[in-house]
Structure 1
Amino acid sequence: MKIVVDAMCAEYGGIRTYVDHLLGRWSAVHPEDELHVVVPAGSSHDTAGHVRHELRVRKPSTVGRPMAQTGAMHRLIRRLEPDVVLATVPSTTVRRPAAPLVVVILDLRHELRPEQFTRGRRLLRHVSYGRTYALADGFLSISQRSLDDLHALHADTRDKPAAVTHLGADHVLRWPEPSRRGPSVAFAHHTNKNPDLILDAWALLAGRDEPVPPLMMLGVTGARRERLGGIIAERSLTEHVTLAPFLPDDEFQRVLASADTIVFPSDFEGFGLPVVEGMALGKPIVIGPETATMEVADGHAVVMNDWSAASLADAMVRAIGLPDDTLELARAWGASFTWDRTVGQTREMLRAVATARS
């Protein structure tokens, strides 16, 4: 198959992780395919030996990127005549491409948790995502939760082909040797990660007559760092909680590989990659009663009873005491999430949509 991959919006965060690993394993699983990967000019993306096309993006990028996708990328698709186009986020050309279009659905948090986004960001997503949903010939969702949300909020998408394709986690096998000698690790770069709830729980743990597990919170910068630092000082948690910024890849991998426990009480996820990464590394995982993380954990994580600090504190105590055989079952489940499987399922969906349009 000849496939154009629109990675114009995949420069950061979880979407970048997804695209990097998808491209990285594609040639090993389907060496017969020809992939053309479209990225912004100057992108640091490693396109893994696939044909690379860099498009100039004028500033501001919120306007320049869709212009590049609708202009230069649209012309590229016409010239290449691919079997199918894969848009790695629901923001691509606003003109119907000259090939079937399959769109990756990550999450619909901007619609279901609008208070966690600025008004401008919500408006941009509403316009660009809505147009992409209308143009799509099929959808690939990273979880059943996200696909259910798409169908519930955009009824017109229910009549189009769709498949759930979970992300992989076997990239952790190339990380440092796992141990549990480090602190527990939590994430605080977005409000849905619930950093305040985590600190409330740690304050409760500190008030008990037992050792308090050390904790490192990742992705804490700017005003959020100042605010969370103030809470830590106010609650006398300085010796128990450390704030860290976004870490370079090698340091991030070392920190997670040595983490004692992964604390992930996010109230909204499209998938929750740290959950399966942590399981594959043999870590106890703590999550909230949230649909996507419960889906991918499949009973192998300690789930909070509710969204209270007391419930999180109790879940932490349970997680720390998990026996080795329970952790081994979780590790085996986490190891079943492979990027080869993701590539295979993605390619199957692309082929089905391409065949239906031919």
Structure 2
Amino acid sequence: MLRLAQELLQREDTNLIGVAGRHRRPPVAGYEPTIPMTSLPLARPWLYESWRRLKWPLVESATGAVDICHSTAGIPAPSNAPHVVTLHDVAFLRRPDRLTRQGVRVLTNAVERSRSAAAVTCPSTVVYDDLVAAGFPADQVHVVPWGVDAVDVRADDISAVRDLYGLPSEFVLAVATLEPRKNLRRLIEAHQLLTDVPPLVVAGPPGWGDVADDLQALSQHVVFLGHVLGDHLQALYAAANVLAYPSEEEGFGLPVLEAMAAGTPVVTSRGTATEEVAGGAAELVDPFDVDSIGHGITSALNNAEQLRAEGLDRAQECTWARSASAMMAVYQAVKEHNA
């Protein structure tokens, strides 16, 4: 959402102000706000609890009067203005076992409070369908897909990343938090069954559910890089022969577009939001079938040039300017309805 906010800020038809809780430390490198910010007097988790229980403090206490309050994460913020809420993914409503109990409690509360919003946005039709199935009126929910920036990765950048992480000359890349729904166990099993394919490299921080320890015990032939920062990640995509992203379910699946923008062929899951994101420019597999995943990797390696060209075309379609225009249409409709 930071990149979408930056794109909205460049438009002449809106004035955007970011609101955050109190922070003792500056933002982590790579996550600095891209828009003007103001802060409320409480820090998380007390801010979220106060919003949930007391509906205080109001956003306007930090911003003054606003036309629309847009909550993009966590608990929707209290405001006197019409409310737009973004719900990125609500698969936990169907599969609460995929999250911690605390995570389910917090996110379920966010969904319930979003029912009173003037509009709810989500990044894919998969999430749209989940929200309508959960009882949201169809005309309340709006799909605002995410975008991706064009990238220009130099050969020197790729060489530097190879040296920094000790990467092989060729590799299959997976970019994912190490958590159950990312389906890394089946990906590793599928890769192990293949012969004459590049090694598997996994980039992503540990998640929950002891997945990281289990996966590293599963294979001694997989390279785990841990969290990779944005600049390094772009070069990592460009260095890879294929991105393998057979997630069981996603709200969107931004790595699919990021890899395509870097000119990297993509393997991803059929019947999920990532199929929608890929737009016909990826090798699609059954995420629950190890053989299908393995066949998809082999096929992508064999058809790399075609997938690379199709992926670049798809990435060029999915701009952040397009996302900003879709979001502005929601803002304008809400403002006109409440005029």
**TM-score (ref. length: structure 1):** 0.81
- How many angstroms apart in 1 are the aligned matches of 2:69 and 2:154? 36
1:47 aligns with 33
2:45 aligns with 62
Which residues in structure 2 correspond to 1:62-81 (within 5 Å)?
62-67=45-50, 70-76=55-61, 80-81=64-65
In the alignment, which of 201, 206, 219 is matched to residue 190 of structure 2? 201
2:264 aligns with 283
In the alignment, which of 205, 216, 228 is matched to residue 247 of structure 1? 228
Secondary structure of the equivalent of 2:69? strand
Cα deviation, residue 306, structure 1: 5.6
Letter in 2 for 1:185: L
Secondary structure of the equivalent of 2:219? helix
Secondary structure of the equivalent of 2:45? helix
Letter in 2 for 1:247: V
Secondary structure of the equivalent of 1:299? coil
Long gaps (5+) in structure 1: 1-18
- How many angstroms apart in 1 are the aligned matches of 2:61 and 2:120? 22
> Is the contact between residue 262 and residue 286 of structure 1 (CA under 8 Å) also seen in structure 2?
yes
In the alignment, which of 206, 210, 213 is matched to residue 226 of structure 1? 213
1:16 aligns with none
- How many angstroms apart in 1 are the aligned matches of 2:192 and 2:307? 28
> Is the contact between residue 151 and residue 234 of structure 2 (CA under 8 Å) also seen in structure 1?
no
> Is the contact between residue 280 and residue 334 of structure 1 (CA under 8 Å) also seen in structure 2?
yes
In the alignment, which of 75, 79, 82 is matched to residue 91 of structure 1? 75
- Alpha-carbon RMSD: 2.4
In the alignment, which of 148, 159, 173 is matched to residue 151 of structure 2? 173
Cα deviation, residue 181, structure 1: 5.2
Cα deviation, residue 332, structure 1: 0.3
1:141 aligns with 122
1:148–1:254 distance in 2 versus 1, CA, 3 Å = same
Cα deviation, residue 55, structure 1: 2.2
- How many angstroms apart in 1 are the aligned matches of 2:319 and 2:99? 32
> Is the contact between residue 114 and residue 120 of structure 2 (CA under 8 Å) also seen in structure 1?
no
Letter in 1 for 2:252: F
- How many angstroms apart in 2 are the aligned matches of 1:307 and 1:35? 43
- How many angstroms apart in 2 are the aligned matches of 1:313 and 1:164? 32
In the alignment, which of 308, 312, 316 is matched to residue 327 of structure 1? 308
- How many angstroms apart in 1 are the aligned matches of 2:119 and 2:203? 36
Identity of aligned residues (%): 23
Secondary structure of the equivalent of 1:303? strand
* Greater mean alpha carbon deviation, residues 220-229 or residues 31-40: 220-229
Cα deviation, residue 308, structure 1: 1.5
In the alignment, which of 140, 149, 160 is matched to residue 161 of structure 1? 140
Secondary structure of the equivalent of 2:137? helix
Cα deviations across residues 223-273 of structure 1 (Å, max 9, x unaligned)?
A: 54332221113xxxx2xx201111222222221221111100100100110
1:217 aligns with 202
How many equivalent pairs are there? 319
Cα deviation, residue 305, structure 1: 4.1
**Pair 1:357 & 2:335 matched:** no
**TM-score (ref. length: structure 2):** 0.86
1:112–1:271 distance in 2 versus 1, CA, 3 Å = same
Cα deviation, residue 75, structure 1: 4.1
Letter in 1 for 2:67: D
1:333–1:75 distance in 2 versus 1, CA, 3 Å = closer
* Greater mean alpha carbon deviation, residues 217-226 or residues 256-265: 217-226
Choose between structure 1 and 2: higher helix proportion. 1
Letter in 2 for 1:106: H
1:114 aligns with 96
Secondary structure of the equivalent of 2:227? coil
1:11 aligns with none
Long gaps (5+) in structure 2: 159-167
> Is the contact between residue 220 and residue 245 of structure 1 (CA under 8 Å) also seen in structure 2?
yes
- How many angstroms apart in 1 are the aligned matches of 2:143 and 2:240? 30
1:3 aligns with none
> Is the contact between residue 189 and residue 219 of structure 1 (CA under 8 Å) also seen in structure 2?
yes
Cα deviation, residue 212, structure 1: 2.7
Cα deviation, residue 324, structure 1: 2.1
